[in-house]
Amino acid sequence: MAGITDPRPPLPEWILECYDRLCTQACQPDIGEDSVPLIDYDDAVNILSSDAELALEQRDVEHALTRLLERGYFYEVEDELRVTSPEEQC
């Protein structure tokens, strides 16, 4: 989530497309009102790897997930990717 004051260039469009795909597949846990959408890391890899429209190789999928984690689009808890701000992003 590169903010206005973030000196880093924005993420490439193909990585943002990966994020959008994962947001549509993320599930909302039934636990508590403050729960956030999440997706298992391995499921995320499988979803992106098998998406014919994206046509990504394994290393591209891993790169996209790494960049999304580094930029704060997701945070990782016990092999689950959780959406940082679902009301703003997904």
User: Domain-by-domain residue ranges, the chain?
Assistant: 11-26+37-72
| Pairwise CA distance, residues 23 & 29, whole Å | 14
pLDDT tens readout for residues 34-82: 577 889 999 999 999 999 999 999 999 999 999 999 999 999 989 889 8
Among 38, 31, 17, residue whose Cα is nearest residue 83? 38
| Pairwise CA distance, residues 73 & 89, whole Å | 8
Q: What is the pLDDT of residue 3?
A: 53
Say if residue 32's pLDDT is above 60.
no
Say if residue 28's pLDDT is above 80.
no
Tokens of 3: 């903010």
| Pairwise CA distance, residues 22 & 3, whole Å | 21
